[in-house]
Amino acid sequence: MTKIIQKDKERLIFSSEMSESLANSIRRSVLEIPVLAIDEVEISKNDSALYDEIIAHRLGLVPLKMEDGLEMRKGCAKCTVQLKMQVKGPGTVYSGSLKGRAEVVFDKIPITLLRDGQEIELVASAILGKGIEHAKYSPGLAYYRNLAEVDLKNCDACKECAEACPLGLLSGDKKLEINDVWKCDMCEACVEACKKHGKGEIKVVPGNEIVFFIESWGQMDAKDIFAEAVKALKSNLKAVEKA
């Protein structure tokens, strides 16, 4: 059984009874999704205090919106997207200064700082790649953990454990209750608080269900990242079966 906890463009959280091996396979398959990112930068002018290599590295990490029709082949016009940047100081150079066929997801990512009279001019080439090649091609962050099982049956609600919880998940006056148990990362701060007072009534153990998290960098919706990761996993399984 699968339960959606949170679902929007940037984040997808759900609980499921899937096995850890399947969850880990889906997590790893996120790095198999083709993503557009800057691969090469030709800098003709850079008066800033940063080296050309640092500028190129920062540009490579700028998330770009995906463009339809691109193919995963290097060195052809259909597979490469050109972007240009030409800025004069003074002021901060932001990612929004990149202009071309691809659109940046966040236009306020700082690239460098220019003083009066300084300039930066460059041409960047973006291609499709996969996260297994370089982290800049990752569409987002995927991770999972076991859904915690918290036993509060014998707790006398002294509130010491509630105050110890760093996430503030425990509440109640006469009887303690746990809110949003999926947020519990099993740090056991509440358990330690009970032990300090000679009690130890609270038990926190990993359950059988998995809580799966996907956080998008902005290139695609979180739900699409999950769907594409499953497609990539199926494709790899077919290749193994064929072999």
Task: Indicate whether 227 belongs to any domain.
Answer: no
Assess whether 158 and 202 both reside in one domain: yes
Nearest to 136 by CA among 5, 1, 39: 39
Task: Indicate whether 149 belongs to any domain.
Answer: yes
The pLDDT score that the predictor gives to residue 92 is: 97
Assess whether 42 and 132 both reside in one domain: yes
Pairing of strands 203-216, 177-178: unpaired
The pLDDT score that the predictor gives to residue 178 is: 86
Q: pLDDT tens-digit profile of 197-225?
A: 766 678 889 999 999 999 999 999 999 99
Nearest to 67 by CA among 131, 137, 127: 127
Question: Span 88-117, mean pLDDT?
Answer: 95
Task: Indicate whether 124 belongs to any domain.
Answer: yes
Question: Span 188-205, mean pLDDT?
Answer: 79
Separation CA 27–CA 23 (nearest Å): 6
In the chain, the number of structural domains is: 2
In degrees and rounded to multiples of 5, residue 194 shows phi and psi of -65, -40
| DSSP annotation string for 137-167 | G--EEEEEEEEEEEE-TT----SHHHHH-TT
Question: Span 150-156, mean pLDDT?
Answer: 74
Assess whether 208 and 158 both reside in one domain: yes
Q: pLDDT tens-digit profile of 15-26?
A: 999 999 999 999
Assess whether 76 and 24 both reside in one domain: no
Task: Please check the confidence at residue 77 and state whether its pLDDT lies above 60.
Answer: no
Assess whether 154 and 194 both reside in one domain: yes
Domain that holds residue 92: 35-136
Task: Please check the confidence at residue 106 and state whether its pLDDT lies above 80.
Answer: yes
